[in-house]
Amino acid sequence: MRQQNYEVTQIPGGVPIKTWTRGVHFEEEARQQLINLSRLPFIHKWIAAMPDVHLGKGATIGSVVPTVNAIIPAAVGVDIGCGMMAVKTGVRADQLPDSLRDVRHAIERAVPHGREMQRNRGGRDKGAWGELPYDVALAWSSLVESFNRLCEKYKLLKNTNNAHHLGTLGTGNHFIEVCLDESNAVWVMLHSGSRGVGNRIGTHFIELAQKEMQRWQIQLPDRDLAYLPEGSEYFADYVQAVEWAQHFARVNRDVMMTRVLKTLSAVLNLNFEARLAAVNCHHNYVSREHHYGKDVLVTRKGAVRAGLGEWGIIPGSMGARSFIVRGLGNEESFCSCSHGAGRIMSRTAAKKQASLEQHIAATEGVECRKDQSVIDETPAAYKPIEQVMQAQSDLVEIMHTLKQVVCVKG
């Protein structure tokens, strides 16, 4: 029988907290957030904290929150459906050129990304607010009907960059990578979510939940733990909006992946089998599941579902290894695992403490930006991924180990 890695903390006035953090940095502020969560009256059984756990807004990033008849919009967050996609290709390492700069630049041209994209209002070739590229328009056609129904009730959503953000990477920790696995096969991996429209949905319902707490005179240890009870005015609308945003995020990753694979084929002048294996998983989302005799809403804020045999992706930092994993179905974590390495420094702290020289050394051998603007994403800002994987060896098994050779940052 596999050894269980978690530790249990009993919380006076709350449910227990189970943490998979042995040998991994675990900040006190994150502990307090978990304690606040555990004392809400609708938590089912316990809170689970993954080894990448760190301070978030309201709810801790790297937490699994099972609830009965209620949902916490801030626990889902504003990057609804943020997640990962990875594809194994038929390309081998020896088919890549010695210099990968042209590969990186081609991907950067193919997928709008970063703050330059924001300044250009979407970075679209034919005008951000005009005609959509064909692949984006086709993808949007599967989303628009449900989106229009949401807009009928919540008219503010009409002003978001909905279709124009589809097929775009975004900023911050979002990325596209070309990686090599343990057998020198080439993979493409990317990280992104529901972009501006998901942010607007999340922000809107967080504010509505906070107003409901005021109206009902419910006192909370943190106003960002405001919740919507099932059957209340906004609950069903929020669930519908979240499901739509999660669908948008998955389609967004599909559009970008198709573009990157076509770009890779063109720049390498190779026709290759593109999807020998593929994984597409959320890590900021909510789903209806059954655990310990109850139908519950499971919110994974920076966590991946790791049911028995389910495949997932756990990326390291931009200079570290990443892992394609298969879930072990551990019910103690509500069948979950970490979504990455987890930050050990805030973005502000990383900019102050990490030097450009350190960043260049840490990303040696990776074709990526090596300038001051990505210091907040430097490897030193994250927990060592090897420690994170060791701490959750009872949650997943490693199927492939990836090392990036190209990294495009948002």
Catalytic residue ranges? 339
- For residue 46 the two structure tokens come to 């316990």
Q: What are phi and psi of 114, to 5 degrees?
A: 75, -175
Q: CA 197, CA 122: separation in Å to the nearest integer?
A: 13
Check: CB of residue 330 under 8 Å from CB of residue 291. no
Residue recorded with tokens 């057998």: 183
Q: Residues with Cβ < 8 Å from 3, sequence gap 6 or more? A: 394
408 touches 104 (CB < 8 A): yes
Q: What are phi and psi of 375, to 5 degrees?
A: -60, -35
Tell me the C-alpha distance between 28 and 37, whole Å: 14
